[in-house]
Amino acid sequence: MTEPPRSVSRVVACVVCLLVLSASIAAGADEREPRRSDADGARIVELYPNPVVDEDRGEFVVVTLPNASDGWSLADGESTVRIPDGTSGRVALSPDPDSAAESTDHRVVEVSDRLALANDGERVRLLRDGDAVDAVSYDDAPEGERWIRDGEPRWRPLGYEPRSAVDAGPATARAFVLPDDPAVPTAALRRADRRILLAAYTFTSRDVADELVAAVERGVSVRVLVDDAPVGGIAAREATVLDRLTASGVEVEVIGGERARYAFHHPKYAVVDDRALVMTENWKPSGTGGRGSRGWGVEVESSDTAAELAGVFDADAGWRDSTPWREFRRGQTFVESEPADGRYASRVETERVEVDRVRVVTAPGNAEEAIVDELDGASERIDVVQPTVDDRTHPFLRASVRAAERGVRVRILLSGAWYVEEDNRALVDSVNGYAERRSLPLEAQIAEPRGRYEKIHAKGIVVDDRVVLGSVNWNNASVRENREVALVLESEAAAAYYRGVFEADWDTGKPPIPVGLVAAVVAVVLGALAYARRRIGFAAETRGGEKG
């Protein structure tokens, strides 16, 4: 086939450029300069097209207008409505200001009811004397979410504001694991003098409830926040525990419902005076009760860490998707369930460790980027323990593979519980196959508890001399839709402690390695192990569901 003349090619190229430019403008702001210099800074910054109320009452558009502004209007593709003269600053424009005021902190200015944003997509223009100064567009509007023009435009649930990762500085900490030492969480609560803020996904532990009631009786302020719809439903046992707490003076709130900011409220932490307790386990017999799951936890003596987690708690408990338990439970039905009753010998003792730096990371918002950065920063080894990896294209798994490709030794330990075993074995085969084909120091395996615990529920990573532990699962729902909390501990001692636990769980045919000998043992292991070389093929996404 002969090539077209260059002149034709240039014409085609120009047409393509024009199409790309048109698409760019349609996807965001109109790039034309304002008609007047006094229009500088005028822009559309937020849209709320699909409120969770009948007839979309309370929809609004947030704009920023220069001072002494007249002649402004807003066009939604079907009609143009005038903005009252003299309107300036950042304001929310709505045909229903009373309803809109319940959904925004911005000053609300009433405009004509001819402004009606379409749920299936719209192009909205800000006009000055009839000329477009700014324009934005969106596709389908998720119910109850705002379109935010903050950096890259995105949808965010109404009421949700992302937090930054917080550097809380050095601290002394107590590292522990479950089911080996279930006394640590209850002992931490027992030492409270002023306040306890307990955040939970599920809460069925009567032992923990005893400590909270006792704390109230000695004058401690106690608040509890739980999820409204955990997978499987709220257990009757949990309802009984929360009834007792409420009757004893504990402030119990339930987060979720139609205005929910998060798919699940999934963290497992407590603020006790100026200390912070962060775990991978739920407040239930199988978790903090030591009756089932392998979990990791840490109690940090740090007022800065406690302050940040108190801020997270207040933000989560203080909005419209939080409901008092007494009110929430009316008309509810609860599911029957049997508490775990396993018995496991204590093999790993709690250890006091010094931490050079504690960082608090939360999801949604900053945890995904922070944890990827940790994995991308690995220089020697990464050890991961997770119940499952639901999404084979997850950024954490991809970062782990990148680390192996640059020579970092990576091991991934997954649960053998019946409800994830098939998927986990498929992932193990994929990871090991990829590693074998490319001769990478990368290996995955299924945990064999052999009487030391029932199943893996920990969500932990040891990256060189840093530890990440908390509620973050390796699926996209966890880091992008759930409220999650995790700590990053920069500490040789903490890394040695949790790596010792990992080694014991990884090497299921041998007894646990004493924590004090970890450094020496690791040196021998690094020289002696022949890395597994098997196969991988990262397939399309699997489930993104949440199991606790």
Residues 135 and 189 in one domain: no
Residues 184 and 290 in one domain: yes
| Residue 12 placed within a domain | no
| Residue 439 placed within a domain | yes
Q: Are 485 and 471 in contact (CB under 8 A)?
A: yes
Residue at a domain's end among 328, 347, 370: 328
Residue at a domain's end among 157, 192, 209: 157
- pTM for the model: 0.82
Residues 171 and 192 in one domain: yes
Residues 136 and 250 in one domain: no
Residues 125 and 251 in one domain: no
Residues 235 and 126 in one domain: no
Residues 74 and 106 in one domain: yes
Q: Are 514 and 374 in contact (CB under 8 A)?
A: no
Residue at a domain's end among 104, 123, 157: 157
Residue 268 CA neighbour count, 13 Å, CB half: 26
Residues 153 and 269 in one domain: no
Residues 170 and 153 in one domain: no
Residue-level pLDDT at 235: 97
Per DSSP, the residues of 342-407 read: ------S--EEEEEEEEEEEEETTTHHHHHHHHHHT-SSEEEEEES-B--TT-HHHHHHHHHHHTT
Tens place of pLDDT per residue across the chain (548 aa): 444 444 444 444 444 444 443 434 343 433 343 444 446 789 999 999 999 887 788 999 999 998 767 899 999 888 999 999 989 899 999 999 999 998 898 999 999 988 899 999 999 999 999 999 999 999 999 888 999 987 778 898 988 989 999 999 999 999 999 999 999 999 999 999 999 999 999 999 999 999 999 999 999 999 999 999 999 999 999 999 999 999 999 999 999 998 899 999 999 999 999 999 999 999 999 999 999 999 999 999 999 999 999 999 999 999 999 999 999 999 999 999 999 999 999 999 999 999 999 999 999 999 999 999 999 999 999 999 999 998 788 999 999 999 999 999 999 999 999 999 999 999 999 999 999 999 999 999 999 999 999 999 999 999 999 999 999 999 989 999 999 999 999 999 999 999 999 999 999 733 444 444 444 444 433 443 333 333 333 433 333 334 57
Q: Which domain holds residue 414?
A: 362-528
Q: Hey, is 8 helix, strand or coil?
A: helix
Residues 312 and 450 in one domain: no
CA distances from 45 to 40, 64, 131 (A): 14, 7, 18
Q: What is the CATH number of the domain that holds 124?
A: 2.60.40
Q: Hey, is 293 helix, strand or coil?
A: strand
∠ CA 457-458-464 to the nearest 5 degrees? 155
Continuous segment of H or E residues that includes residue 534: none
| Residue 426 placed within a domain | yes
Residue-level pLDDT at 547: 56
| Residue 9 placed within a domain | no
Residue-level pLDDT at 102: 87
Residues 40 and 132 in one domain: yes
